[in-house]
Structure 1
Amino acid sequence: MGKILVTGASGFVAKHLISQLLEAGYEVRGTVRGQAKVPGIWAAVDALAPGMAGQLELVEADLLGDRGWAEAMVGVDAVMHVAAAILGVEPKDPDIVVRPAVEGTERVLRFAHAAGVKRVIMTSSIATVGYGHGHVSGKRIYTEAHFTDLAAMRHSWSYCMGKTKAERAAWAFAEVNGMELTTIHPGAILGPAIDPEASISLGMVTGLLDGSTPAMPRIGFAISDVRDVAAMHLAALQKPESIGQRYLCTSPFTRYDEVAAILRSAYSDRPITVKSVPDWIIRLMVPFNGTIRQIINDIGNEKHFDGSKGERLLGRPYRTPEEAVLSAAESALRFHIVKSLPAKPAS
């Protein structure tokens, strides 16, 4: 079946992907920055693919340094470049996010090419698709044919900058060096956490469940179930027609208040807000709030990402937003990612 290198093995998507690869019969080597998260990776893989964690090899390699990458590529048949730096708030220095994205991608591809590895599947994002197109109001549908224009964005966003520059660098490198590249583009990644080291996107769910989100911005999401995202990487590996292609892995547009309604129906005892924040207040807060700076480009518009091409690659429909939201909520509660509610006063 071949040996697959998965970068960023401690990540939410990577753990699901590694488990699916092992179950499909591949040998898997994962990269980690250090040893601290190794026990958690073993435990997560064992939970998802019982009895197979011992077949996972882990090696140290950092996106910002050359050490370890040559060794990581030895005997590898394909690379799944999943590793990324993701922050919950917009950093003052964009390079905290942009540099690992761009420099890390270039480094992974350079060492893969030097080792004779041609096949690379890269986790990109809808951030490289739906921005900088002059879309400030109303509904618009985006496909894989769209590519974010950073120069035309009204508000800078480091994650978007990093992902877009990294993907453009990857396509340019692949073309010059004859590499077989595929990019996968999820939206807000939800679905079941295997441990507390989950996606930042789960904050949307946990903030509603514990009441720390007192009111919702009037935006929506292209929700992606982590199991579908991992499965699409595997499908791309197994289907040669995916070479040279971009694939959106996105279920239908879901508003924030619809996410709240899904949770409210399942967790009626939770303090899930029904309040929304007017757009004008959100815009006023942009200079002072790092979280809002990450969503300001989506205020006042609806971005619908057509994931039908990705469904055809996957060979089945995506899991529904409701399934992704509820499985995220269940696991977040089970792993105590959700803040505890204050005790009720004695009657």
Structure 2
Amino acid sequence: MDSGTILVTGASGFVGKWTVIELLRAGFSVRGTVRRPDKVPAIHAAIAVQVGGEALSRFTHVETDLMDDLGWPEAMAGVDAVCHVAAQILAEEPRNADVVIRPAVEGTERVLRHAQAAGVRRMVMTSSIATVAYGHGHDRGRRVYDETHFTQLDRMRFTWAYCIGKTRAEQAAWTFARANDMALTTIHPGAILGPALDDDASISLLMVSDLLNGKTPAMPSNGFSIIDVRDVAAMHVAALQNDASIGERYLAAGDYTPFPEVGQILRQAYPSRTITQKIVPDWIIRVLARFGGPTRQIINDIGNEKHFDRTKGEALLGRPLRSSKEAILAAAESSIALGVVRPN
């Protein structure tokens, strides 16, 4: 597919805005779904800065909610494919996991159902490495995962809402696609950094901005597979443009980078800022995780290294992924420029 109109769900989000921009750069017309109309001016501003007014004229929006059928028939009318990007992401484990799980699962089912009703057969869905690398008995040491691995929720000692929601949503999507002849591709990002377009960016950027602001008193020892948001968006577009991607999963996960290394990269780039070097002992993380909160979201990565095979994703893109250092520094530079990080 090289032309037509693409629906992007969650167009006001970090990945959503970049996906809209990359689709417009590729020549597509884009209709974005937004839950809050007050965010539309920020989307327009981001588009105009990145690709100019002509591209902006090929963008429209419609108000929808993943938990309501209202607006979805209008959203799907006349579109050629869907990039389902919308997601509920929280910085801490919620007391009620359904606030994350229900939008992921029911929202995905709603998007698929309305796409089918409108005769839309092509979908690229943003999933996560959370649906890949958990529940495999990996407690320590280095292990490499690829697209053949599926998270086993029933084998996890500690589950968290985001992992449950994303895993069940992907399972539901593949089941629906097989039953209804839907041409589905799933993209699985790691920790998404890179340049923010406005101050309404991703929770994951707090990893960088909180360090620069001195809000992080100490860091966990574990690492993340970091991916630049521009590569995530580009992979969605590449999947739409390549029919061989239909029925496939693609990891969008770059360098494994320990949290202390993120701090070191930022200290070297911004030597005048006070960035902690303290490390939280793993045993404290394990104790705190029993009570929920942010540690519950990383407890399954303490004591082990999860690496992800980028071969398939890079082949789809036709180029290497950006480095984690580039993504970290782009996140830092944009956070400072947008005022998310206080003046030094």
Give the TM-score normalised by the residue count of structure 1: 0.97
2:329 corresponds to which of 326, 329, 337: 326
Q: Deviations over 1:271-327 (max 9, x none)?
A: 111111110111122234511111111111110111110000000000011100000
* CA contact 1:235–1:313 (8 Å) conserved in 2: yes
Task: Tell me what 1:311 maps to.
Answer: 314
Structure 1 unpaired stretches of 5+: 342-347
- What letter corresponds to residue 207 of structure 1 in structure 2? D
Task: Tell me what 2:26 maps to.
Answer: 24
Task: Tell me what 2:131 maps to.
Answer: 128
CA separation of 1:291 and 1:340: change in aligned 2, threshold 3 A: farther
- What letter corresponds to residue 39 of structure 2 in structure 1? K
* CA contact 1:16–1:48 (8 Å) conserved in 2: no
* CA contact 1:34–1:60 (8 Å) conserved in 2: yes
- What letter corresponds to residue 5 of structure 1 in structure 2? L
Q: How does 1:52-71 map to 2 (within 5 A)?
A: 52-71=55-74
* Separation in structure 2 between the aligned mates of residue 36 and residue 245 of structure 1, nearest angstrom: 36
Task: Tell me what 1:344 maps to.
Answer: none
Percent identity of the aligned residues? 62
* Separation in structure 1 between the aligned mates of residue 339 and residue 286 of structure 2, nearest angstrom: 33
Q: Does 1:82 align with 2:85?
A: yes
Q: Deviations over 1:216-266 (max 9, x none)?
A: 101001101000000000000000100000000111211111111111110
Task: Tell me what 2:15 maps to.
Answer: 13
- What letter corresponds to residue 14 of structure 1 in structure 2? G
Q: Deviations over 1:186-236 (max 9, x none)?
A: 000000001001111111111211111111101001101000000000000
* Separation in structure 2 between the aligned mates of residue 337 and residue 197 of structure 1, nearest angstrom: 10
Q: How does 1:185-224 map to 2 (within 5 A)?
A: 185-224=188-227
Task: Tell me what 2:46 maps to.
Answer: 44
Shift of 1:55: 2.1
* Separation in structure 2 between the aligned mates of residue 126 and residue 289 of structure 1, nearest angstrom: 21
- Worse overlay, 37-46 or 1-10: 37-46
* CA contact 1:61–1:67 (8 Å) conserved in 2: yes
* Separation in structure 2 between the aligned mates of residue 313 and residue 136 of structure 1, nearest angstrom: 31
Q: Does 1:145 align with 2:158?
A: no
2:158 corresponds to which of 155, 167, 192: 155
Give the TM-score normalised by the residue count of structure 2: 0.97
Count matched residues: 341
- Worse overlay, 52-61 or 174-183: 52-61
- Worse overlay, 240-249 or 52-61: 52-61
Task: Tell me what 1:239 maps to.
Answer: 242
- Worse overlay, 126-135 or 35-44: 35-44
1:94 corresponds to which of 78, 97, 114: 97
* Separation in structure 2 between the aligned mates of residue 288 and residue 163 of structure 1, nearest angstrom: 22
Task: Tell me what 2:170 maps to.
Answer: 167
1:73 corresponds to which of 73, 76, 83: 76
- Worse overlay, 276-285 or 105-114: 276-285
- What letter corresponds to residue 174 of structure 1 in structure 2? A
* Separation in structure 2 between the aligned mates of residue 288 and residue 213 of structure 1, nearest angstrom: 20
Shift of 1:24: 1.1
* CA contact 1:43–1:53 (8 Å) conserved in 2: no
- What letter corresponds to residue 107 of structure 2 in structure 1? G
Moved over 6 A (4+): none
Shift of 1:156: 1.6
- Worse overlay, 288-297 or 135-144: 288-297
CA separation of 1:339 and 1:155: change in aligned 2, threshold 3 A: farther
* CA contact 1:47–1:194 (8 Å) conserved in 2: no
Instruction: Indicate the SS of the match to 1:207.
Output: helix
Q: Does 1:2 align with 2:10?
A: no
* Separation in structure 2 between the aligned mates of residue 168 and residue 130 of structure 1, nearest angstrom: 15
* Separation in structure 2 between the aligned mates of residue 186 and residue 324 of structure 1, nearest angstrom: 13
Instruction: Indicate the SS of the match to 1:6.
Output: strand
Shift of 1:340: 5.1
Instruction: Indicate the SS of the match to 1:277.
Output: coil
* Separation in structure 1 between the aligned mates of residue 50 and residue 136 of structure 2, nearest angstrom: 40
